[in-house]
Structure 1
């Protein structure tokens, strides 16, 4: 009888324990990305978005939050739905395609003649002061020339929570795509 009571109590305690559920996030593709006017030359130039790299601490599943000037926390239950570098590449391609309608923007080269864009993201996190950081640099190979630019955006996160953090990160990434698009247009 004692054995049955102990087993019953253990089952009751196990049933009452709470489990923490994981929440998964995906960057939204920008629907409000402005088109950048460009003269169409008849043939569509191509931009190959070769790679978007992120530091090792951002390459895991957890969203990153900076808690001080030197300390970062990686969320254990608030996770990226797919690898961050892939999401950044896919949304960059989508945003550049919308901003540069006279160009083909793709994740693989579609011919011999194309520009190549490589992006290195060094910051993509929320911060202790209510700001969101999107920073890094991009390198464009254009007709034998190398064009390199840095980006360092700090945006206010207007609401609390991971949903607002991801939406603000997406806005910063859209703004980065706009900067890249304007630089591409200025090359012609």
Structure 2
């Protein structure tokens, strides 16, 4: 009878432990006014050549900063597709909507196009309830290089990864609007 107690305890412990469920996140499409016009009527062309993310953001997991020096990369809260791809697709859409008269593409179009590159150094949640978005963009316009840094810290409306991803998406759309406003001046 005593020899079955360890086996019974092992079965009970294994029944209590379960593998945590993995959750996958995609940046939601934010509503924006539809752009009017066609590619033929575009007065300017913008090639969004590359959106790169820092190494710690290039992992599958959603990143959360736990204090001033520690970051956790989610093991069960994962990006549904690579973050750099999501950010690039979203930026093309948002810039297209914000820049009427421009043709914005993730593919090269012609030799006289403007070329935009973006580097993301922060795209994560933080221990104080903020969603952090930071980095810089560089525009090559007819050989002239224009470089601008950006940094946003948005307050999450509620706790959890769902709210974090929605807040990051909102912040990324805001940054796209800022980039579009600055591009419109050049």
TM-score category, normalised to shorter length: 0.7 to 0.9
**Residue 51 of structure 1: how far off its partner (Å):** 0.7
- Give the alignment's TM-score, normalised by structure 2: 0.87
Counterpart residue number, 1:38: none
Corresponding residue number in structure 1 for 2:129 = 130
Q: Which residue of 1 aligns with 2:51?
A: 52
Q: Do the aligned partners of 2:52 and 2:119 also contact (CA within 8 Å) in 1?
A: yes
Inter-partner Cα distance in structure 2 for 1:8 and 1:48? 64
What is the correspondence of 1:111-122 to structure 2 with a 5 Å cutoff? 111-122=110-121
Secondary structure of residue in 2 paired with 1:101: coil
> Which sections of structure 2, spanning at least 5 residues, go unmatched?
1-5
Q: Per the alignment, do residues 128 and 13 of structure 1 end up closer, same or farther by CA in structure 2, a change over 3 Å counting? A: closer
Give 1:178's aligned residue. Answer: 177
What displacement does 1:153 show? 0.5
Superposed CA RMSD in Å reads: 2.6
Paired residues of 2:32 and 2:94 also in contact (CA < 8 A): no
Instruction: Tell me the matched-pair count.
Output: 184
Aligned pair 1:18/2:22, yes or no?
no
TM value normalised by structure 1: 0.86
Shift of 1:16: 5.8
> What secondary structure is seen at the aligned counterpart in 2 of 1:77?
strand
Q: Which runs of 4+ in 1 moved over 6 A?
A: 6-13
Q: By how many angstroms is 1:71 displaced? A: 0.8
Distance in 2 of aligned mates of 1:172 and 1:160:
16
Residues 32 and 97 in structure 2, CA contact (< 8 A), matched pair in contact too: no
**Pair 1:85-2:84 in alignment:** yes
Checking the alignment, whether the CA contact within 8 Å between 1:121 and 1:136 is kept in structure 2 is yes
Q: Is 1:33–1:174's contact at 8 Å kept on the other side of the alignment?
A: no
Offset of residue 18 of structure 1: 2.0
Aligned to 1:3: none
SS at match of 2:123: strand
